[in-house]
Structure 1
Amino acid sequence: MNRTRQAIQRIGFCALVVAALALPAHADALPAGFVRLADVDPSIRQDIRYAGSDNFLHRKANGYDAPVCILTEQAARALGRVQKAIAAKGLALVVFDCYRPARAVADMGEWTREGGPPDPQWYPWIKRGDLIAKGYVGQLSSHSRGSTVDVAIARTDRTSAPKLACGAVDAGTLDFGTGFDCFDPMSETVHHPLSNEAAANREMLVDAMRAGGFKNYAREWWHFTLEHEPFAKQRFDFPVAAE
């Protein structure tokens, strides 16, 4: 009887080991094909605005449980190549948003329907309720496919950024004419007029990202999508979480 009981215990123990090995390494393991950018290129700066209150919502967006950039592996590696190309100039990429859960997109849409006056920092000439109709907030977002990134270029010495009236500015970013998420025609990539410096910086960013395989969204100088994205017809809703 004792031998039988010991055999059963050994079988049970082996089963537990196999089951443990089959579990993901982390409780919040990412879907297949996704990575955290820091695991691919930790030198890219992350300033994930929707994980805090410094954004047009003035609060955390639903689904952002941590200020981390998650992308498809292809997009993360392509972004790493862009980073390597500009690093020799004393420059670095800074990302403001990467993968965006579908629940966050819905949250933003619901927020616009609450209505309200223009916001001097984020949408100075448009009422909140008109942001979807004007195309500044989408009811669907390419970010939810995992290969879209909102990005700027910064100096590696992190010198002070210019004081801009509209949008978010990360310390050390170059002058792009507006900050990230400025909902205004000035954010269009080839908007005129712009200062010579801002126009040159936008052109440099577009050229660097294009060389890395990304295409720009013409209405937002900061918005880029990997041309050959792996999930072009699929949207995801897992939360943005740290390891």
Structure 2
Amino acid sequence: MHVNSALRPLCFLAALLVAVHAKADGTPVLSPAKTAGQAGLVDIRTLAPGIAEDIKYAGSDNFVGTPVDGYLAPKCFLLKPAAEALARVERDLHTQHRGLLVFDCYRPARAVAHFVRWAGDLSDQRTKPAHYPDLDKRALLGDYIAPVSGHSRGATTDLTMMQCDANDAHCEPLDMGTSFDYFGTLANTESPEATPAQHANRELLRAAMERQGFRNYAMEWWHYTLTPEPTPDTIYDVPVQ
């Protein structure tokens, strides 16, 4: 989730989803693309067949607690330059008996709207113990959940690193200190609450991603964006399928 404190009115998102022209205030353009191919999105498995995936929003193991709108299959799509860069990260790690485990990639705009609706439903507290144990749910909308996500631009991915044995089997995720989509300061990449070993693991991931042009988002150790982004002013709403 990319934090954006300039939030609040839900009507903003509704207006965004029908926009076809860039706004003077910087509101991104919604692409008219209806398919991944039209948007220039590619399945990461076509470039890195062995990459591990656990696409959280295609199932119920996520902070919403249900499959998220727009995720019709557990796949990772990215714009081609980002997909190619991520494939290079995976190849580099393979030489060290390591690999990536991907949680999310391109995120349809309709999925972000689902997040906003969920955040506004204060009666639904099912995922609080796992995802926001120390926060009031009212704090999520505005501080953690934004009406526009960088993931919808097609060059951002959420992931972790795995260590494999000498035969590149039995791969296990490294201890990063929190699960994916944990809302709290422990998830900050440089959090003083993390142990030295957890910091070292986060640095391994960051170094591997930065070598191929990805930039970390400081509030989430798992969140990386290719820099420069291929389409920084455009978001997409084609389904993941």
TM-score in same-fold range (> 0.5)? yes
Partners of 1:196 and 1:178 in 2: how far apart? 14
- Name whichever structure is richer in strand by fraction: 2
The structure number with the bigger radius of gyration is: 1
Question: What is the root-mean-square deviation of aligned Cα atoms in Å?
Answer: 1.7
1:43 is paired with a residue whose SS is coil
Partners of 1:84 and 1:181 in 2: how far apart? 26
| TM-score (normalised: structure 2) | 0.80
Q: Residues 124-203 of structure 1: matches in 2 within 5 Å?
A: 124-133=133-142, 135-157=143-165, 159=170, 172-203=172-203
Are 2:91 and 1:84 equivalent residues in the alignment? yes
Structure 1 residue 155: Cα displacement? 2.2
Structure 1 residue 29: Cα displacement? 5.3
Question: Quick check: 1:115–1:127 contact (8 Å CA) kept in 2?
Answer: no
Runs of 4+ in 1 over 6 A off after TM superposition: none
Are 2:54 and 1:61 equivalent residues in the alignment? no
Q: Which fold has the larger relative contact order, with Cα–Cα distance below 8 Å and residues 6 or more apart in sequence?
A: 2
Structure 1 residue 193: Cα displacement? 2.9
Are 2:50 and 1:38 equivalent residues in the alignment? no
Question: How many residues in Structure 1 have an aligned counterpart in Structure 2?
Answer: 203
Question: Quick check: 2:157–2:225 contact (8 Å CA) kept in 1?
Answer: yes
AA in 1 matched with 2:87: G
Are 2:109 and 1:102 equivalent residues in the alignment? yes
Provide the residue aligned with 1:51 in structure 2.
Answer: 58
Structure 1 residue 156: Cα displacement? 3.1
Question: Quick check: 1:63–1:104 contact (8 Å CA) kept in 2?
Answer: yes
Gaps of 5+ in 1: 1-26, 160-170
Structure 1 residue 28: Cα displacement? 5.3
Question: Quick check: 1:109–1:138 contact (8 Å CA) kept in 2?
Answer: yes
| TM-score (normalised: structure 1) | 0.80
AA in 2 matched with 1:193: E
1:190-234 deviations in whole A, cap 9, x for unaligned? 000321210000011111111110000000000000002111000
Structure 1 residue 46: Cα displacement? 0.9
Provide the residue aligned with 1:111 in structure 2.
Answer: 118
1:56 is paired with a residue whose SS is coil
Partners of 1:136 and 1:96 in 2: how far apart? 17
AA in 1 matched with 2:231: F
1:64-92 deviations in whole A, cap 9, x for unaligned? 00000000000010001111111111110
Partners of 2:141 and 2:82 in 1: how far apart? 27
Structure 1 residue 32: Cα displacement? 4.2
Are 2:130 and 1:121 equivalent residues in the alignment? yes
Partners of 2:70 and 2:194 in 1: how far apart? 35
Structure 1 residue 126: Cα displacement? 1.2
Provide the residue aligned with 2:79 in structure 1.
Answer: 72
Partners of 2:187 and 2:160 in 1: how far apart? 13
1:206 is paired with a residue whose SS is helix
Provide the residue aligned with 1:225 in structure 2.
Answer: 225
AA in 1 matched with 2:49: P
2:221 is paired with a residue whose SS is coil
Question: Quick check: 1:50–1:61 contact (8 Å CA) kept in 2?
Answer: yes
Partners of 2:193 and 2:235 in 1: how far apart? 36
Question: Quick check: 1:102–1:237 contact (8 Å CA) kept in 2?
Answer: yes
Partners of 2:69 and 2:139 in 1: how far apart? 21
AA in 2 matched with 1:127: D
